[in-house]
């Protein structure tokens, strides 16, 4: 009972932060288009600022966490700063100022999700339980926020986006004070130990190959709201689409203990890659927003399976002393570099062609990534033999 009770603050934190993150991920592109009046290409610039900031902030805060042996105190600093800069971000209207304050917004928000997942992974290992059973609360928070925020913004208008953001963000900060830090490694982290991560060829190749799939995922994250609006949907339908997708994601995380360890983690990544390829090519042919919503159950079978398997694989490739930094590195590739590339290519494709054309391109990216992971898996098996 005490073990489950000790996890309550962590689960609540994941719920609250991912509910906050929903506002940025699901509705910021629509806000930038309808309230600020930006084009698809300009929206791509703003969205690319986030991953760019993450490239700087995630390794920095990951190193600071390992250096000072704490995740909890870093999270409190990040969330306090995030709330302050969000107030400014939602009250500027020129492209220059939006870009400037988007950088600071993402600089403090980008590492929070990675730290939450890292803390969940460490706590799961300490208690010998499934990481997915903890992480699923982040997905539930995302789904609930997507549905409620979509309904609220359809009623109140996209210009009121700041209020649900501050509500969930403040809850995340309050709960962060009740988090329990994990037992730190007895070894001291140094820049030399961090350098070992970059010298790990298996790790670097894996991150490079999987990036083709994660680019397709992050591009869809950025533009699916605009895609649904382009097909004739509303903010409410955007919220429903995210709700359906993330509920399926939560189901995959919640049941991970029953299916995850049965096969090699790379096999799950390959299956997710195949399903991503099918999903994006189908989206490229759709012209009805309700069909998009119906197919959103594939989100759980793609993102949740890919993320859970890749996170587990990365954890086993890196030494514990730099685990926080390693997790942040993975997060930087998954959400950072992939997000920059996806945002910069997605906007121009929508401006010059269509959202349907964008998803066809994403299908090609996912297909290439899947083939590369298959080759990676085959080479590893040959070397073991």
> Is pLDDT of 259 > 80?
no
Choose between 384 and 168: higher pLDDT.
Answer: 168
- Reference 370, options 299, 260, 276; nearest CA is 276
Tell me what the mean pLDDT of segment 363-378 comes to: 94
Choose between 68 and 368: higher pLDDT.
Answer: 368
Tell me what the mean pLDDT of segment 61-67 comes to: 80
> Is pLDDT of 70 > 70?
yes
Q: pLDDT > 70: what percent of the chain?
A: 92
Average pLDDT, the chain: 86
CB 311 within 8 A of CB 9: no
Per-residue pLDDT tens digits for 19-40: 998 888 888 888 998 899 998 8
- Reference 17, options 140, 121, 105; nearest CA is 140
CA distance linking residue 312 with residue 128, whole number of Å: 14
DSSP letters, 228-280, are HHHTT--HHHHHHHHHHHHHHHHHHHHTHHHHGGGS-HHHHHHHHHHHHHHHH
Per-residue pLDDT tens digits for 271-306: 999 999 999 999 999 999 999 999 998 998 899 899
Tell me what the mean pLDDT of segment 148-162 comes to: 89
Per-residue pLDDT tens digits for 197-221: 777 788 889 999 999 999 999 999 8
Least confident of 47-51, 83-87, 231-235, 375-379: 47-51
With residues binned 3-state (H G I as helix, E B as strand, rest as coil), the percentages for the chain, rounded to 5, are: 85, 0, 15
> Is pLDDT of 264 > 70?
yes
- Reference 209, options 375, 364, 369; nearest CA is 369
CA distance linking residue 47 with residue 64, whole number of Å: 26
Choose between 370 and 312: higher pLDDT.
Answer: 370
The dihedral built from the CA positions of residue 30, 35, 36 and 41, taken in this order, carries a sign that is positive
Choose between 381 and 163: higher pLDDT.
Answer: 163
- Reference 231, options 221, 219, 241, 217; nearest CA is 241
CA distance linking residue 306 with residue 291, whole number of Å: 23
Q: pLDDT > 90: what percent of the chain?
A: 42
User: Tokens 């300490």 sit at which residue?
Assistant: 126
Listed in sequence order, the residues at least 6 apart from 37 whose beta carbon sits closer than 8 Å to its beta carbon are none
CA distance linking residue 330 with residue 307, whole number of Å: 10
Listed in sequence order, the residues at least 6 apart from 261 whose beta carbon sits closer than 8 Å to its beta carbon are none
Q: pLDDT grade, residue 1 (50/70/90)?
A: very low
């Amino acid at each position: 009972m005490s073990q489950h009770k000790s996890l309550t603050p962590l689960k609540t934190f994941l719920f609250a932060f991912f509910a906050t993150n929903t506002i940025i991920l699901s509705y910021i592109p629509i806000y930038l288009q309808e309230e600020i009046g930006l084009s698809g290409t300009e929206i791509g610039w703003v969205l690319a600022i986030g991953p760019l900031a993450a490239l700087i902030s995630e390794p920095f805060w990951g190193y600071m966490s390992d250096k000072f042996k704490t995740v909890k105190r870093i999270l409190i600093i990040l969330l306090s700063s995030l709330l302050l800069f969000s107030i400014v971000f939602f009250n500027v209207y020129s492209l220059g100022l939006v870009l400037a304050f988007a950088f600071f917004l993402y600089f403090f928000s980008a590492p929070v999700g990675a730290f939450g997942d890292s803390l969940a992974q460490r706590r799961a290992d300490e208690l010998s339980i499934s990481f997915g059973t903890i992480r699923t609360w982040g997905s539930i928070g995302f789904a609930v926020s997507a549905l409620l925020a979509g309904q609220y913004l359809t009623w109140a208008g996209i210009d009121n986006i700041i209020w649900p953001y501050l509500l969930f963000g403040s809850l995340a900060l309050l709960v962060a004070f009740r988090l329990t830090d994990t037992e730190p490694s007895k070894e001291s982290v140094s820049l030399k130990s961090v350098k070992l991560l970059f010298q790990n060829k298996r790790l670097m190749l894996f991150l490079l190959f999987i990036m083709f799939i994660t680019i397709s995922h992050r591009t869809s994250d950025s533009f699916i709201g605009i895609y649904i609006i382009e097909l004739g949907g509303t903010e409410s339908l955007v919220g429903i689409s995210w709700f359906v997708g993330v509920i399926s994601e939560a189901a995959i995380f919640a049941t991970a203990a029953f299916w995850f360890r049965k096969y090699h983690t790379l096999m799950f990544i390959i299956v997710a890659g195949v399903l991503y390829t099918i999903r994006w090519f189908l989206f490229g042919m759709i012209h009805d927003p309700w069909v998009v919503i119906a197919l959103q159950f594939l989100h759980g079978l793609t993102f949740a399976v890919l993320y859970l398997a890749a996170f587990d694989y990365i954890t086993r490739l890196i030494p514990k002393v730099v685990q926080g930094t390693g997790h942040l590195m993975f997060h930087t590739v998954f959400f950072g570099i992939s997000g920059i590339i996806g945002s910069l290519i997605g906007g121009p494709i929508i401006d010059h062609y269509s959202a349907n054309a964008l998803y066809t391109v994403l299908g090609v990216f996912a297909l290439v990534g899947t083939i590369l992971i298959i080759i990676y898996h085959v080479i590893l098996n040959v070397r073991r033999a």
